Amino acid sequence: MYIIEVKILIFRSRRAIGKTPRSKTGSNYDYKQVRAARRVKFFSTLLGMLFLACLVGGVVLTLYVLSVAKTLPSVDLISSYVPSETTKIYSDKKIVLAELHQEENRILMPLEEISPFIKQAVIATEDTDFYRHHGINFKGIARAMLKNALSMSFVEGGSTLTQQLARNLFLHKQKKLSRKVAEAILAIQIERSYTKTDILEMYLNQVYWGHNAYGIESAAQLYFGKRAKDLNLAESAMIIGLLKGPELFSPFRNYTFAKQRQKTVLNRMAKINVISQSQADAAYTQDLKLAPRRDFRYRAPYFTSYIVSQLNARFGEDAVLTSGMRVYTTLDYELQLHAEHVVRDYVDKGRGMRYGEKNLPLNFEQAAILSIEPATGYIKVMQGGTDFRQNEFNRCVQAKRQPGSTFKPFVYLAALEKGFSPNSIVLDAPVTFATAQGPYSPINYTKSFLGEITLKKALEQSVNVVAIKINRTIGPENVIRVAKQLGINSPMYPFISLPLGAHEVTMLELVSAYGVLANAGRRVDVTGITRIEDRDGNIIYKHELNERRVADPETVAQLVDMMTGVVLNGTGKNAYLPRPIAGKTGTTSDYRDAWFIGFVPQLVTGAWLGNDNNTPMNRMTGGWMPAMMWRDFMKEALKNLPVMAFPNSTRISPKRVSDEEEIIPAEQPPLNAGESEDPGAQKQILNFFE
């Protein structure tokens, strides 16, 4: 009995340690069954919990996505979205004078106007599966997640071109989950609403390329001075390489980095068989010619700023900076450059010169040149000062200066209209007029008198006494009427000293009025703009030539003939050129202003010297440097213009001017009407010369 029990124990012990055949009965089998059941229950519970967690997570994610989606704008807004586009101002030969924009310098281009290399490069580099996905590239996301996990940071987003477009149009650029979700939602919606062609076109026109250039057209012009459609493979690869970091990889800042990125783009294009490897290698070794960096705000800045002020007044500053207008102007840019050179040259000469026994400096710091086509009113040149960067004040249109004797032609035209002729005789002799301010005795610049002389001779020599007598005889009101008909719009009053330029005018007024004389008595509106187009090429403004006769052509021909004598025989000899030229010099009291305004039938030009603070120059007359400055400018301006004669006049109507005194009415306007208000103002006004 005891022996049997021991054997059983031994048998069980052997089976327990695996030394006997297994059996589906016994305590060991039961134990394994329990363990398996527990294991199944554990995994079932775990799977259930995971399923529940996924279900809850899915619900939470769905609710989160829906909540984000509710805050997003409709992608239908893209259809009505009008991005800011740069307004451009062009010269008469389509040279860009200015690009006006706010933050975004953008020029919109249809996809067919963009180089195919750009399209191939951007897809190869930024979104290889662009034509296969529907807004989201899950392979790209998985790749990005792996890189982010390995780097333990957010280094890549896996965004498609559509997602990038959504970000640029609607979202901020901070890398966070909410933005990525919003980006994905918008990308899917954009893909449903727009074709791939639309999306690619919008992307290339929207994206930032560095140095304030938005859109591929602005980038192409910035970096290579080309249209986007003209970019070759090498240029396209370099530009697309900038997308990774436009400022960091800019060829202007780091050409080596830019070349590295170019090589990456080219190799990527070769890898996906868009181009061959030999094409990639050839493009990489190709010499690239970058466009020169623009260190200017405007070309021809005095003229261009004048145009900008007119645009702002007409359309408003915001529209000018964002609407993408194309403004075509009248400026001859090459001639403008010549004018800039002439002005700087004469101011520099003046600074280095001395005059008189005391060897004093000439003392002028500013000069200006303005040139207009008489027949059209087109402003061809406007150099309103010595250096726009130092002083933006435009002396052609903003400064009001006394014109001195350049006002006298209006007096003589009024006299000719009243029946006088160039051969009318007047006595140049001392005379005194009784005025409301007391006796007035005009004097000539030479302090001498010429006796009996013709009107023609008096104008040639700029005789003050004769001009005053004519003004007194025909009436200052008639002189003012004629001046206004010709285009002088500044206030004028019937002073006896009116012929000597007592009232301040702008250079634009004065030169345009002389343009009427050059145009045989026909006045046209002066303009700097020929037409304006909107961003789609529709004309929204076109200058219409508005010509009207304001003076008899025979009378004007008589005056012009008299003014040719100023250059041939009179005070304007320094302006002489071997062709018919008419003009007039002008110098104000104390040599504060010096003018020469002259013309040929095709072009009228004014030249001025002086100081902004109105301090006197040293013996500077209009017949000296202004006439020489005019001549040096006009040599270039007339180089390609045929020699033309002025119309002749044979009208002769002799008439003498009496020396009777004239009393100016006591009820005169106050002296601040274009005059100085200091106690010696009247004396100063009556002391004009030349």
Catalytic residues: 126, 405
Whether 535 and 439 have beta carbons less than 8 Å apart is answered as: no
> What is the chain's Cα-based Rg?
42
Whether 326 and 532 have beta carbons less than 8 Å apart is answered as: yes
201: Cβ–Cβ under 8 A, 6 or more apart, which residues?
110, 111, 114
Strand, coil or helix: 355? strand
Cα distance between residue 599 and residue 586, in whole Å: 15
- Three-state secondary structure string covering 303-349: HHHHHHHHHHHHHCHHHHHHECCEEEECCCHHHHHHHHHHHHHHHHH
Count of C-beta atoms within a 10 Å radius of residue 639? 9
| Residue of 299, 268, 301, 298 whose CA lies nearest to 283 | 268
Strand, coil or helix: 298? coil
Q: Could you tell me the two tokens for 323? A: 């609407």
Using CB atoms within 10 A of its CB, is residue 111 exposed (0-12), middle (13-18) or buried (19+)? middle
| Residue of 518, 643, 657, 523 whose CA lies nearest to 583 | 518
Q: Could you tell me the two tokens for 672? A: 């601040």
List phi, psi (to 5°) of 87.
Answer: -85, 135
Beta strand segments in 486-568, E: 522-524, 529-533, 539-542, 547-549
Q: How many residues does the chain have?
A: 690
- Amino acid at position 305, single letter: S
Strand, coil or helix: 279? helix
